[in-house]
Amino acid sequence: MVVFAVGGDFTAPWSHTGVWTEEEYLKLPSDGPKVELVGGSLLVSPAPGKPHQRIVRRLATLMESAGLPDLVTETEINVRIAEDVILIPDIVVTSETDDKVIVHDAAHVRMVVEVRSPSNQGQKWIKKYALYAQAGIPWFMVVEMDDERHLTMILQRLEGGTYVEAARARCGEKLKLPDPFPSIDPADLLRPLL
């Protein structure tokens, strides 16, 4: 497999034979497209569109502003799901507060959030959903973007190794989250934050 370097010289190929290990994965440049490691293979995604990025930024800001005790809200950080499986959720709420940690262990993660937009549908998303459940992450929130004016937020709770819907809200409704998380109206993610 040939992977193009994403830092510095964009035309220099980076050759690799066989499966990728976590050690090799962590040597990849950190700028460029989103690259995740799943069972020795790399999943490469282009940057999402601006509406997707705005939703992620605004939701992370709302969650962080709630002052969650002993928890931090981060965007696009490495989360070790299993050996040689590192995913990068849109938003992660974790009890790991050490800024020097490069890869966060799923055992410290309380919630992951993924924004589904027309730019990121497909099998990769379905696989990530199952991997989060296998890792034992207790809460999984999905923000579905129908377009730039319609959002649905779905909160799912881990039960018996799979996620079950706990709450759902569309714009104009409040999504009730478990304590200590705040309740959120999806419409708030469409309004500019002051």
Annotated domain spans of the chain: 2-45, 50-189
What pLDDT is attached to residue 4? 46
Sign, CA dihedral 32-117-137-178, equals positive
pLDDT tens figures, 152-179? 999 999 999 999 999 999 999 999 988 7
What pLDDT is attached to residue 47? 81
What pLDDT is attached to residue 112? 97
Question: Region 27-34: what's the mean pLDDT?
Answer: 82
Beta carbons of 38 and 21 less than 8 angstroms apart: no
User: Quick one: which H or E segment has residue 91?
Assistant: strand 91-94
Write down the residue that tokens 């800024």 correspond to. 99
Task: Give 99's pLDDT tier (boundaries 50, 70, 90).
Answer: confident
SS3 of residue 20 by DSSP:
coil
The CATH H-level (homologous superfamily) assignment of domain 50-189 is tt1808, chain A (3.90.1570.10)
d(CA 180, CA 76): 22
**Start-to-end CA span in the chain (Å):** 46
What pLDDT is attached to residue 192? 65
Single pTM value for the model:
0.86
Write down the residue that tokens 């890869």 correspond to. 103
d(CA 99, CA 96): 8
Residue with the larger pLDDT of the pair 24 and 122? 24
Task: Give 52's pLDDT tier (boundaries 50, 70, 90).
Answer: confident
Task: Give 121's pLDDT tier (boundaries 50, 70, 90).
Answer: low
pLDDT tens figures, 139-157? 999 999 876 678 999 999 9
